[in-house]
Amino acid sequence: MLKSAGYAAVNAEEPLRLWEFERREPGPHDVQIEIEYCGVCHSDLHAARNEWGNTVYPVVPGHEIVGRVTRTGAHVTRFQVGDRVGVGCMVDSCQRCASCAQGLEQYCENGFVGTYNGEEMHTGGLTYGGYSSNIVVTEKFVLRIPDNLDPAAAAPLLCAGITTYSPLRRWKVGRGQKVGVVGLGGLGHMAIKLAHAMGAHVVQFTTSPGKRDDAMRLGADEVVISKDQEQMAKHANSFDFILNTVAAPHNLDAFLTLLKRDGTMTLVGAPAEPHPSPAVFNLIMRRRSLAGSLIGGIAETQEMLDFCGAHGITADIEMIPIQRINEAFDHMLRSDVKYRFVIDMATLKEERRAD
Asked if 76 and 30 touch (Cβ cutoff 8 Å), the reply is yes
Query: Is 159 a binder of Zn ion (CB under 5 A)?
Result: yes
Distance, CA of 349 to chain centre? 25
User: 133 is in the binding site of which of Zn ion, ligand NAP, none (Cβ under 5 to 8 A by kind)?
Assistant: none
Sequence-distant (6+) residues with CB within 8 A of 183 are 205, 206, 207, 244, 245, 246, 247, 269
Q: Residue type at 338? A: K
Asked if 319 and 344 touch (Cβ cutoff 8 Å), the reply is yes
User: 138 is in the binding site of which of ligand NAP, Zn ion, none (Cβ under 5 to 8 A by kind)?
Assistant: none
Q: 3-class DSSP state for residue 71?
A: strand
Q: Give me the least distance between CB of 306 and ligand NAP, in Å please.
A: 20
Quick check: bond before 116 cis, omega within 30? no
Query: Is 226 a binder of Zn ion (CB under 5 A)?
Result: no
298-311 helix and 186-197 helix, angle to the nearest 10 degrees = 70
Q: Which residue's CB is nearer to Zn ion, number 259 or number 328?
A: 328
Count of beta carbons in the 10 Å neighbourhood of residue 334: 8
Quick one: which of 31, 41, 142, 328 contacts Zn ion (CB under 5 A)?
41
User: 219 is in the binding site of which of ligand NAP, Zn ion, none (Cβ under 5 to 8 A by kind)?
Assistant: none
Q: Give me the least distance between CB of 88 and Zn ion, in Å please.
A: 8
Sequence-distant (6+) residues with CB within 8 A of 180 are 202, 203, 204, 205, 235, 239, 241, 242, 243, 255, 258, 265
Closest to 307 (Cα-Cα) out of 161, 156, 90: 161
User: 225 is in the binding site of which of ligand NAP, Zn ion, none (Cβ under 5 to 8 A by kind)?
Assistant: none
Q: Which residue's CB is nearer to ligand NAP, number 5 or number 89?
A: 89
User: 247 is in the binding site of which of ligand NAP, Zn ion, none (Cβ under 5 to 8 A by kind)?
Assistant: ligand NAP
Q: Residue numbers of the site for ligand NAP (CB under 6 A)?
A: 41-43, 46, 159, 163, 183-188, 206-208, 211, 245-248, 250, 268-271, 293-295, 332, 335, 337
Q: Give me the least distance between CB of 92 and ligand NAP, in Å please.
A: 17
User: 248 is in the binding site of which of Zn ion, ligand NAP, none (Cβ under 5 to 8 A by kind)?
Assistant: ligand NAP
Q: Which residue's CB is nearer to ligand NAP, number 285 or number 299?
A: 299
Q: Which residue's CB is nearer to Zn ion, number 58 or number 62?
A: 62
Query: Is 69 a binder of Zn ion (CB under 5 A)?
Result: no
Max Cα distance, the chain (Å): 64
Count of beta carbons in the 10 Å neighbourhood of residue 256: 23
> Distance (Å, rounded) from C-alpha 92 to C-alpha 80?
20
Query: Is 115 a binder of Zn ion (CB under 5 A)?
Result: no
Q: Give residues in contact with Zn ion (CB under 5 A).
A: 41, 43, 159
